[in-house]
């Protein structure tokens, strides 16, 4: 493809990297964005460690506990796309600051929750603010980093997730072991795990105001309110149906069906409107759709199974929240080592080799969980955590890089939001399905044992709800002093014996999801990357071929991607690589 007709200022991306098109403070900006990302991840990992304490303090049922998690993920998943699209329209920096401010205020409210219902509601408010962070930070990275640096930047972005995964449980464990630090203010022993968000957010907002540049789509014609409303309502209905997960109840399928129908209407509307929020041609690009499918399956496996590891650590093994939190360090170390280095691995071997290898390592870790014993040695737990983190570090970062390369910078907000939305829906589906299966297996294992005990039927029903409820009943038996000595210990042991098979079932289901993800990456991921020219350049005349996105004055994503060999320094010359659409038309006899 000749470049002589292109303006001298556009050149290759490599030449742009030496000109004024590159923000000289981009790595400092990345550090500030990472702070914003960490606070979202930190909150979820801290909460996992605090689940047992919250359940006992608020007398929450297993369903209420799940909804304390799901109320957050419900609105989080439903609003990701909207926040991303609003960032493209009104400015990504502005939307990020608004979202973080809302998140901080809702975090403070959570700390004072006095009932499960209040906690569920305030967690939902937190999800509204948090939904702005993932798509907007990733969108800003897409805009300020040229393609050859984007893999390294996203590797650091993903490594921050791993660091937060380790930092959250440890910080949470310290705070829970010293409740007197904040209990005088909150009136409970766990409110500090939410207060910890506030100072981090303050630091993050100061940094954002100071150095993060404002970016938005300057060609954005007008807002797409109908599309945004359809996406919110459809996602709310879908995720609500999934999270309720009463698989034997008609209303579950009605909610899921309603959500799918509305989202289908959203896609039809977006394909016909003159000012769509979502560029549907993204899904035609295999470097976008294939990693999206594979990573979503990995997220479903991860969220659906690891939720129950905290109960294994704290209840089955009897470790403190801090000790349990420390066992997340191997996972974080693996991810922190792998994610930043994944870009160099891709540059050397190609994503088609690196990503499946990462999924395979995560699969090995899941098999180790599926064969976990009640007295598993510490080295075994360290190994499975490290393998899982190292595997995901080589999966998520390069997959995300492939997707951002295929996304036009002007659409980076909505494009990154699509990634995160699909992953969050998959994670919610994984948690709902696997947790319902775990609950069924646990109850079926424990019920025959309880039928032989003198416990009242009401207590039996509560005890079969979850292993946390079983241990709670055992504690009450011990405190009553009316049962024979050792009755509480017998009930706890019955709970442990019933829980391990349920945990193993969850892990085998997750392992099956990872096998499917592995096959998708191996058989369907393109050997070469499909990349859009960086925002610092002006597409050449060939980029104007193909259908125009009405109201935007630009070609759709599928007609902007260049076929680039990511091995070596191919990503330094995206603009000079052939357009995929042009290559296809040249080989098409029609």
Average pLDDT over residues 372-387: 92
> Are the CB atoms for 88 and 412 separated by under 8 Å?
yes
Domain check: are 535 and 578 in the same one? yes
What pLDDT is stored for residue 113 in this prediction? Answer: 87
Write down the H helix ranges in 131-273: 133-144, 147-177, 183-186, 192-195, 197-211, 225-244, 250-272
What pLDDT is stored for residue 479 in this prediction? Answer: 76
Residue that the structure tokens 């160099």 belong to: 344
> Are the CB atoms for 108 and 194 separated by under 8 Å?
yes
DSSP 132-166: THHHHHHHHHHHHS-HHHHHHHHHHHHHHHHHHHH
CB count, 10 Å around CB of 474?
21
Domain check: are 436 and 535 in the same one? no
Domain check: are 505 and 564 in the same one? no
Tell me if 449 is assigned to some domain. no
Render pLDDT for 35-59 as a digit per residue (tens, 0 to 9). Answer: 888 888 777 777 777 877 888 788 8
Average pLDDT over residues 406-418: 79
Tell me if 561 is assigned to some domain. yes
What pLDDT is stored for residue 168 in this prediction? Answer: 76
> Are the CB atoms for 42 and 200 separated by under 8 Å?
yes
pLDDT at 14 over 60: no
HEC string of 397-452 equals HHHHHHHHHCCCHHHHHHHHHHHHHHHHHHHHHHHHHHHHHHHHHHHHHHHHHHCC
- CATH code of residue 160: 1.20.1250.20
Quote the pTM value: 0.80
CB count, 10 Å around CB of 181?
12
Tell me if 463 is assigned to some domain. no
Tell me if 25 is assigned to some domain. yes
By CB atoms closer than 10 A (0-12, 13-18, 19+), residue 442 is buried
Render pLDDT for 546-589 as a digit per residue (tens, 0 to 9). Answer: 333 434 445 676 677 777 777 766 666 566 556 555 455 444 44
> Are the CB atoms for 405 and 532 separated by under 8 Å?
yes
Domain check: are 565 and 524 in the same one? no
Angle between helices 62-90 and 133-144 (to 10 degrees): 40
Which residue(s) pair with 532 in the sheet? 561
Tell me if 424 is assigned to some domain. yes
> Are the CB atoms for 468 and 316 separated by under 8 Å?
no
Render pLDDT for 280-319 as a digit per residue (tens, 0 to 9). Answer: 888 888 888 999 999 999 888 887 777 778 788 888 888 8
- Structural domain including 545 reads 530-587
What pLDDT is stored for residue 316 in this prediction? Answer: 87
Domain check: are 341 and 207 in the same one? yes
Render pLDDT for 239-288 as a digit per residue (tens, 0 to 9). Answer: 788 766 566 778 888 998 999 999 999 899 988 887 777 778 888 888 88
Which of the listed ranges 335-339, 431-435, 469-473 does the model predict with the highest average pLDDT?
335-339
261 CB-side CA count, 13 A = 7
CB count, 10 Å around CB of 198?
15
DSSP state of 579: B
pLDDT at 184 over 60: yes
What pLDDT is stored for residue 482 in this prediction? Answer: 66
Tell me if 247 is assigned to some domain. no
What pLDDT is stored for residue 347 in this prediction? Answer: 87
Q: How far apart are CA 9 and CA 446, in angstroms?
A: 71
Domain check: are 171 and 201 in the same one? yes
Average pLDDT of the chain, as a whole number:
80
DSSP 511-547: HHHHHHHHHHHHHHS-SSEEEEPPTTS---GGGG-S-
In the structure encoding, which two tokens stand for residue 103, read together?
């998140």
Domain check: are 542 and 522 in the same one? no
In the structure encoding, which two tokens stand for residue 191, read together?
């409110």
What pLDDT is stored for residue 573 in this prediction? Answer: 57
Percent of the chain with pLDDT over 90: 19
What pLDDT is stored for residue 123 in this prediction? Answer: 92
Tell me if 249 is assigned to some domain. no
List Cα–Cα distances, 8 to 198, 576, 577, in angstroms.
48, 13, 16
Domain check: are 503 and 581 in the same one? no
What pLDDT is stored for residue 551 in this prediction? Answer: 40
Domain check: are 534 and 510 in the same one? no
Domain check: are 537 and 523 in the same one? no
Percent helix, strand and coil across the chain, each to the nearest 5: 75, 0, 20
Q: How far apart are CA 180 and CA 191, in angstroms?
A: 11
In the structure encoding, which two tokens stand for residue 431, read together?
């948690």
Domain check: are 325 and 429 in the same one? yes
List Cα–Cα distances, 456 to 5, 246, 353, 477, in angstroms.
84, 26, 58, 12
State the pairing for strand pair 548-549/554-555.
Answer: antiparallel
Tell me if 456 is assigned to some domain. no
Q: Please give the helix or strand (H or E) that residue 324 lies within, else none.
A: helix 321-326
Q: How many domains does one find in the chain?
A: 2
What pLDDT is stored for residue 71 in this prediction? Answer: 82
Render pLDDT for 70-103 as a digit per residue (tens, 0 to 9). Answer: 788 778 878 888 888 888 888 899 999 999 999 9
List Cα–Cα distances, 83 to 80, 91, 102, 229, 396, in angstroms.
5, 10, 13, 12, 22
Q: How far apart are CA 500 and CA 506, in angstroms?
A: 10
Q: How far apart are CA 228 and CA 386, in angstroms?
A: 40
Q: Please give the torsion angle defined by the CA atoms of residues 278, 284, 286 and 291, in that order, rounded to the nearest 10 degrees.
A: 30
Last residue of one domain, picked from the residues 514, 529, 544: 529
> Are the CB atoms for 514 and 298 separated by under 8 Å?
yes
For the chain, the distance separating the N- and C-terminal CA atoms, rounded to the nearest angstrom, is 21
Which of the listed ranges 62-66, 185-189, 284-288, 431-435 does the model predict with the highest average pLDDT?
284-288
What pLDDT is stored for residue 126 in this prediction? Answer: 93
Domain check: are 106 and 163 in the same one? yes
Render pLDDT for 204-215 as a digit per residue (tens, 0 to 9). Answer: 999 999 999 888
In the structure encoding, which two tokens stand for residue 298, read together?
């990995």
Which of the listed ranges 8-12, 13-17, 224-228 does the model predict with the highest average pLDDT?
224-228
Q: How far apart are CA 430 and CA 305, in angstroms?
A: 8
């Amino acid at each position: 493809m000749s470049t002589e007709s292109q303006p001298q200022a556009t050149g290759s991306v490599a030449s742009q990297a030496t000109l004024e098109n590159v923000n000289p403070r981009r790595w400092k900006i990345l550090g500030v964005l990472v702070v914003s990302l960490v606070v979202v991840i930190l909150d979820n990992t801290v909460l996992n460690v605090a689940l047992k304490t919250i359940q006992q303090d608020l007398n929450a049922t297993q369903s209420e506990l799940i909804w304390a998690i799901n109320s957050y993920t419900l609105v989080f998943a439903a609003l990701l796309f909207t926040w991303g699209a609003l960032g493209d329209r009104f400015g990504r920096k502005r939307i990020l600051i608004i979202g973080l401010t809302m998140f901080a205020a809702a975090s403070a409210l959570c700390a004072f929750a006095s009932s499960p219902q209040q906690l569920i509601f305030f967690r939902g408010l937190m999800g509204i603010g948090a939904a702005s962070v993932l798509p907007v930070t990733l969108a800003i990275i897409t805009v300020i980093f040229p393609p050859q640096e984007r893999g390294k930047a996203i590797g650091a972005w993903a490594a921050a997730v791993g660091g937060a995964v380790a930092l959250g449980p440890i910080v949470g464990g310290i705070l829970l072991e010293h409740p007197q630090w904040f209990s005088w203010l909150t009136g409970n022993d766990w409110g500090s795990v939410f207060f910890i968000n506030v100072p981090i957010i303050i630091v993050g907002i100061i940094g954002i105001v100071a150095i993060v540049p404002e970016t938005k789509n300057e060609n954005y014609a007008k807002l797409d309110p109908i599309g945004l409303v359809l996406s919110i309502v459809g996602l709310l209905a879908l995720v609500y149906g999934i999270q309720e997960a009463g698989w034997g109840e008609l209303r579950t399928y009605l909610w899921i069906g309603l959500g799918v129908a509305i989202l289908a209407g959203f896609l039809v509307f977006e394909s016909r409107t003159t000012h769509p929020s979502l560029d549907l041609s993204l899904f035609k690009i295999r470097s976008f759709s294939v990693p999206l499918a594979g990573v979503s399956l990995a997220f479903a496996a991860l969220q659906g199974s690891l939720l129950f590891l905290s109960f294994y650590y704290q209840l089955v093994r009897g470790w403190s929240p801090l000790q349990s939190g420390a066992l997340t360090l191997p996972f974080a170390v693996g991810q922190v080592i792998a994610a930043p280095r994944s870009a160099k691995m891709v540059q050397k071997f190609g994503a088609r080799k690196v990503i499946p290898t990462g999924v395979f390592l995560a699969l090995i870790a899941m098999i180790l969980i599926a064969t976990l014993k009640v007295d598993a040695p510490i080295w075994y737990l360290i190994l499975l955590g490290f393998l899982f983190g190292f595997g995901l570090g080589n999966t998520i970062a390069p997959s995300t890089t492939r997707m951002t390369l295929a996304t036009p910078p002007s659409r980076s907000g909505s494009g990154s939001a699509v990634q995160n939305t699909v992953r969050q829906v998959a994670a919610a589906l994984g948690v709902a399905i696997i947790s319902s299966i775990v609950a069924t297996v646990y109850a079926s294992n424990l019920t025959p044992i309880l039928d032989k005990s003198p416990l009242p039927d009401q207590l039996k029903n509560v005890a079969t709800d979850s292993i946390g409820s079983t241990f709670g009943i055992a504690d009450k038996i011990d405190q009553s002093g009316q049962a024979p000595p050792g009755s509480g210990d017998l009930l706890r042991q019955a709970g442990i014996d019933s829980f391990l098979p349920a945990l193993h079932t969850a892990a085998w289901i997750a392992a099956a999801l990872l096998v499917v993800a592995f096959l998708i990456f191996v058989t369907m991921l393109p050997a070469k990357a499909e990349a859009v020219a960086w925002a610092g350049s002006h597409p050449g005349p060939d980029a104007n071929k193909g259908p125009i996105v009405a109201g935007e004055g630009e070609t759709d994503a599928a007609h902007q991607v260049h076929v680039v060999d990511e091995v070596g320094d191919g990503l330094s010359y995206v603009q000079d690589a052939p357009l995929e659409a042009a290559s296809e038309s040249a080989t098409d006899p029609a």
